[in-house]
Chains A and B, each alone.
Chain A
């Protein structure tokens, strides 16, 4: 039965790859004919399973944890395709197991969507979990952020070993109170950086100081500059160069370091960890830089107000031509309210060259109310991108886009420049 289901799954995987189709379909097939496949395959890994969840930054953080662990000589299985549902994990496993269903790895590091993680941890209890944040994201899917917190809490409760928490996010840090069987570790920010990462409670009017400072953190982000950053690890401050862009990615590096150090154990090679960290490239659409007409073009994924505000704060508008692409498909979130929780004033001086996407007019209206000049509006992403590239000439370009808008932008860009293909 086991070999049969693996074989069937692999065949479906090859077929759907040829078709250029979705990455979860073969997983679905295996799930139907062999529901125990994931549990059985992951149960025997010597260092177990680590789950990364939270509303923002899962993909980049998971990528960092994987590369950090590989620097320690570990073989790591991960769901690289970004298909972060149980089915996606099954699909990724099918690509890695041999024909008898065995996985040659020491540890699995899996990015899981918070709603699906709840089902996943019922199937297989992770030894480690890393919970990043609870920001306003896709409220139309999960209802309320307190509900999202409870989803993350159930991941923590299912964890058998260590839970790594963000001490700067009061909702995430608060999860520690319900844990008694698990060991809890924290990552954090130096107080000078706290104002850069307002949590949702502090977004308007209030500047409630989090109780964060009193919690001891394994890794603290102390300073962020253009190309390097300081991390305090235990009592040592390490300065490291970085290819990652965006302060939120760099804060998540503190999260990844904390988890990697827990998994690698006391014998972890700190120098190798920081060398690996300095080489991590951003995940697709997370501040990645492409080249168009000899000029850099940056893609910044924005999917909730906090992420958008951090994106605007992390990447200075000066000297750049800017395009914003807003879709409202299911994966983007259908409710446009979130655009009104972002301040766009930093774009007022240079203006926005092009606004596109299904909700281009919602976005343009939003900019109007912040007195930001908009040069052009075209809801059709293909046409808008052409006009944007043609009109921005030799200046560097930056595109802020929601998830499905980013997929469309990448598809168009791949026709004129080199874009990493994401299956």
Chain B
């Protein structure tokens, strides 16, 4: 795909994307979500600047969009204290309508707590009103869910934590195939202000461009007041949309 048009001299069209803990929380292709946001911003005529935040780093100023991924249990232990230290910042950002994507492990830790199946309670950061209970069974497989906001959502889940939503958040989608948040109710993920949280990998954003565009448009509107795409080639974007749609169709035909 060809490069975006050069922005008008002196005009700032840069969006800063922050990836949270890429070292520990990047196990199931979470990089794919960052790449999709970065490239789609470019194709819409914006510039994406990708920043990383790892344990012990200074938290960067001027973040416009935040992405957090999944990790192993051991990774979650490593980041736990550090996450608590930046919790007030993250909560303030969410309340200020900063768009965020939280997948799997960080979805759980954005909640109120994670109680392991042996009874240990790991505190979350309370950014999302939900709680997670460790289970003995692992929920693994393809998922198809449906959201009023984003249409069909396609992905792959792999988690043993069972998440239950409180009254302060809405579900992201209703599950049609697979388990989603837990093996009891039919919800998948959570929505709060401009935060999208989900168990789905795949990666999530490549096959669900509606969610990607929601996040990046909110980031642009929040920073610049309005979203004014300047695509360098409409044909390329059409081809991309077609490819995404075919990938979605084929994914929906795969077994659990």
Return the CB mask of A341-359 against B: 1 if under 8 Å, else 0: 1000000000000000011
**Is A140 in contact with B250, judged by CB distance below 8 angstroms?**
no
Q: B22: CB under 8 A from chain A?
A: yes
**Is B39 in contact with A369, judged by CB distance below 8 angstroms?**
yes
Counting chain B CB atoms within 10 Å of each CB, the highest count among A201, A340, A361 belongs to A340
**Is B22 in contact with A337, judged by CB distance below 8 angstroms?**
no
Given contacts A140-B141, A205-B23, A334-B141, contact A361 B31 (CB under 8 A): no
Q: A34: CB under 8 A from chain B?
A: no
**Is A361 in contact with B28, judged by CB distance below 8 angstroms?**
no
Q: B92: CB under 8 A from chain A?
A: no
Bound complex: CA A144 to CA B166 (Å): 29
Bound complex: CA A369 to CA B243 (Å): 11
Q: A339: CB under 8 A from chain B?
A: yes
Q: A366: CB under 8 A from chain B?
A: yes
**Is B156 in contact with A361, judged by CB distance below 8 angstroms?**
no
Given contacts A146-B72, A362-B250, contact A139 B28 (CB under 8 A): yes
**Is A364 in contact with B29, judged by CB distance below 8 angstroms?**
no
**B54 — which chain A residues lie within 8 A by C-beta?**
205-206
**Is B31 in contact with A204, judged by CB distance below 8 angstroms?**
yes
**Is A335 in contact with B156, judged by CB distance below 8 angstroms?**
yes
Bound complex: CA A361 to CA B156 (Å): 16
Q: B12: CB under 8 A from chain A?
A: no
Q: B181: CB under 8 A from chain A?
A: no
Q: A368: CB under 8 A from chain B?
A: yes
Q: B206: CB under 8 A from chain A?
A: yes
A69 nearest CB across to chain B (Å): 37
> Which residues from 213 to 256 on chain B have a C-beta closer than 8 Å to any C-beta of chain A?
239-240, 243-244, 246-247, 249-251, 254-255
Q: B207: CB under 8 A from chain A?
A: yes
Contact check: which of B22, B160, B244 meets A204 at CB < 8 Å? B22
**B26 — which chain A residues lie within 8 A by C-beta?**
203-205
A333 nearest CB across to chain B (Å): 10
**B247 — which chain A residues lie within 8 A by C-beta?**
359, 361-362, 364-365
Q: B202: CB under 8 A from chain A?
A: yes
Q: Considering the complex, give the chain A residue whose CB is closest to the CB of B74.
A: A146
Bound complex: CA A146 to CA B76 (Å): 13
Return the CB mask of B179-201 against A: 1 if under 8 Å, else 0: 00000000000000000000001
Q: Considering the complex, give the chain B residue whose CB is closest to the CB of A208.
A: B23
Taking A361-B243, A365-B244 as given, write out 14 further A-B residue pairs in contact, using a Cβ cutoff of 8 Å, ordered by the A residue number.
Answer: A136-B27, A140-B141, A145-B72, A204-B26, A335-B201, A337-B28, A337-B29, A340-B30, A340-B35, A341-B32, A361-B247, A362-B206, A362-B207, A365-B206
A-B contact pairs, 11 of them (CB 8 A): A203-B26, A334-B254, A335-B28, A335-B158, A335-B201, A337-B29, A362-B206, A365-B207, A368-B239, A369-B39, A370-B35
**Which A-B residue pairs are the 7 nearest by beta carbons?**
A340-B32, A337-B29, A340-B29, A361-B247, A337-B28, A337-B201, A361-B246
Interface residues of B (CB under 8 A from A): 1, 22-23, 26-32, 35-36, 39, 52, 54, 72-74, 138, 140-142, 156, 158, 160, 201-203, 206-207, 239-240, 243-244, 246-247, 249-251, 254-255
